[in-house]
Amino acid sequence: MDCHALAFRQLPHQPKLFLEYLDHFEKVKSFYFHPPAMAAVTRAARKLDYPGERRAEVSSILRRQNIALGAGAETLSNLDRLEEGAVAVVSGQQVGLFSGPAYSVYKALTAVQIAEEVTRGGIPAVPIFWMATEDHDLDEVRHATWFEQGKLIRLELPLIAETGRPVGRIPLGAQIAALVREAAELLANQGSELLAQYLVESYRPEENYGSAFGKLFARLFGQQGLILMDPLDTGLHKVAAPLYQHALAERDAVNEKLLQRGKDLDRRGFDAQVKVTSRSTLLFHLADGVRQVITASAGKFQAGEKTWARDELVHITHTEPENFSPNALFRPVVQDYLLPTAAYIAGPAEISYFAQSEVVYRHLLGRMPVMLPRAGFTLVDAKADKLLRRYRLTVEDVWAGSQGLRHKMESRSVPGSLAKNFERNQTQIAKMLAQLGKQIEKLDPTLKGTVERARKRIEFHIDKLRRKAGRAQDNKAGLILAHEQYLESLLNPHKGLQERELCLLPVLGRWGAGGLSELQRLSTGKKIGHHFIIRLP
């Protein structure tokens, strides 16, 4: 396996605040508790104060959840370690169909690897994956994009009429059977009967988005001992109820600080990831299964048609905690109230909005884990690698966009002898133009700009002729368009990074059993802030 690492700043479309956090932490340290470093994880783990009673209660709930998902011996062993005092290295993501985008898997792998490294450093640590089952954006999780034989295949469940329900409770229904058959057949045809079996066992009509995702991850990460966490659990809401009450009691002070943090970010040239208004609160209310935002105005709180006084709403969080859930800024704080989190493995946008959540952490919890970026990967299969070499391209060339990619592919498709003639004649023309330019400038220095413009026009037309010759060559075989589509579908699907658009399962199916282990090995704390280009065997 051949690979090389890129810094995140070399990738397209990275948030400005995220890059400053990684590269110039001193400039943004007022927005975060800790720098992104393994030494900071060790310090945070040693200082972590987490009540024993809460540890026992949460560990018991997680044991029940993971047994129901089919957890193996390694996960149960890690649950024992958690109950006995281990810290947590946590990550999480929405429960996307068939594991969702590849970066969901990369987050879990990074959490597993960092937990192992913290443990080797003398502090027992376990990896935990927070399944975002409370999220209500069904459209975001009901589909998966697979790369298959050079094309993108969209596997999709219907968008049901009811909106606002937490996705973790939405049943897959009878339509999942046909999708599973199609996906399992594709995996089996690639020789991955095991992954096909995992899909068939996990995604059944009677499952919901949360349970199916959890059962698949329990199988994928059985040997790594990953602990899964479903926040929809009524028991977890009961444990979190005091924090909900604290958030409501301190709503005015917290909201004022969030509004100020938004101004501070704007003044520094950063975008606030989550919009906060004078009426914002940190909670949603669930009524008849629908998740509705709670707003505040004139001392009253409202969600949908319901209105409460503050004391009344605080009382309801005590008697009906399962009917409340946190918003995007409060969710990680609830997570780290429930867990002894030393480090959180996050994506670029998450790390950016943690600059807002820091206000909530500081006011309501008094501690915050270290934010570490997940490892990132772009996987290049054997055919794509051959095409990149054929056209003398890099993955970065593909990321740059279709127009530039096509120009390079056309200009590099010229037959060998003709290409040599182009190079030789272009060199001669350049020398001739340089000599003429000097003579003309001596005659009249004001013509220097005219000479330079003429040189650029001539070079442009020669390059255009070269590309047309390359296009004519490849059009005979109809190759360039097919090659371009193959590279873009695999390496720049939907004009986005592969890890954000493609499901990892088909690639794992072709790579083989050792693929996950190879990716985990590269997800080390020694390479924080890197994206790996991997050429698969």
166 and 49: one domain?
yes
DSSP state of 37: S
Q: What is the pLDDT of residue 421?
A: 59
Check residue 362 and report its DSSP letter: I
Give the mean model confidence (pLDDT) for residues 100-118: 98
pLDDT of residue 459 exceeding 80, the answer is: no
Residue 225 and residue 243 in one domain: no
Asked if 434 and 427 touch (Cβ cutoff 8 Å), the reply is no
Q: Residue 375's closest CA among 533, 169, 151? A: 533
Both 257 and 322 in one domain: the answer is: yes
- Whether residues 422 and 525 share a domain: the answer is no
**pLDDT score recorded for residue 441:** 75
**C-alpha dihedral sign at 294, 295, 301, 302:** negative
Q: Is the pLDDT of residue 28 over 80?
A: yes
Query: Is residue 470 very low, low, confident or very high in pLDDT (cuts 50, 70, 90)?
Result: low
Q: Are residues 348 and 225 in the same domain?
A: yes
Q: What is the pLDDT of residue 473?
A: 59
Per the domain annotation, does 366 fall within a domain?
Answer: yes
Task: Note whether 15 and 348 are within 8 A (CB).
Answer: yes
Q: Is residue 491 part of a domain?
A: no
Residue pointed to by tokens 């008094």: 366
Query: How far is the C-alpha of 117 from the C-alpha of 124, rounded, in Å?
Result: 10
- The pLDDT tens digits for 143-167 are 999 999 899 999 999 988 666 889 9
| DSSP, res 306 | E
Mean pLDDT of the 455-460 span: 75
Does residue 525 fall inside a structural domain?
yes
- Asked whether residue 314 is domain-assigned, the answer is yes
Whether residue 483 is contained in a domain is answered as no
Same domain, 168 and 211: yes
Q: Is 101 helix (H, G, I), strand (E, B) or coil?
A: coil
Quick one: which H or E segment has residue 329? none
Residue 85 lies in a domain: yes
| Same-domain status, 101 and 113 | yes
Chain-centre distance of CA 327, in angstroms? 19
138 is a domain residue:
yes
Quick one: average pLDDT of 418-428?
Answer: 61
Examine the domain organization and report whether 130 and 109 are in the same domain.
yes
pLDDT at 454: 73
Site of tokens 């444990």: 239
Q: What is the mean pLDDT of the chain?
A: 92
pLDDT tens column, 283-322: 999 988 889 999 999 889 999 989 999 999 999 999 999 9
Q: What is the DSSP letter of 366?
A: S
Identify the band that residue 424 occupies on the pLDDT scale cut at 50, 70 and 90.
Answer: low
Please indicate, yes or no, whether residues 210 and 312 belong to a single structural domain of this protein.
no
Q: Are residues 363 and 474 in the same domain?
A: no
- pTM value? 0.88
Residue 468 has pLDDT above 80, yes or no: no
Q: Which residues of 32-47 are buried (b: 16+ CB within 10 A; e: fewer)?
A: bbbebebebbbebbee
- Give, in order, the Cα–Cα distances in Å from 217 to each of 71, 175, 330, 332, 455: 9, 21, 25, 21, 60
Q: What is the dihedral of CA 503, 504, 508, 513, to 10 degrees?
A: -130
Residues of the domain holding 275: 237-326
Question: How many CB atoms sit inside 10 A of residue 247's CB?
Answer: 25
In contact, 71 and 222? CB cutoff 8 Å? yes
pLDDT bracket for residue 478 (50, 70, 90): low
pLDDT in tens, 347-376: 999 999 999 999 999 999 999 999 999 999
* HEC secondary structure over 137-200: CHHHHCEEEEEECCEEEEEECCCCCCCCCCHHHCECCCCHHHHHHHHHHHHHHCCCHHHHHHHH
136 and 252, same domain (yes or no): no
**393-418 core/surface letters (b: 16 or more CB in 10 A; e: else):** bebebbbeeeeebbbbbbbbbbeeee
As a whole number of Å, the end-to-end CA separation of the chain is 6
Kindly report the number of other CB atoms within 10 A of residue 191's CB atom.
12
Co-location of 455 and 363 in the same domain: no
**Which among 9, 2, 3, 4 has a CA at the least distance from the CA of 529?**
9
Spell out the SS3 assignment of 58-73: HHHHHHHHHHHHCCCH
pLDDT tens digits, one per residue of 491-528: 999 999 999 999 999 999 888 868 999 999 999 999 88
CA distance 255 to 236: 25
In a domain, 403, yes or no: no
Q: Given 303, 326, 349, which residue is the final one in a domain? A: 326
Counting the structural domains of the chain, the total is 3
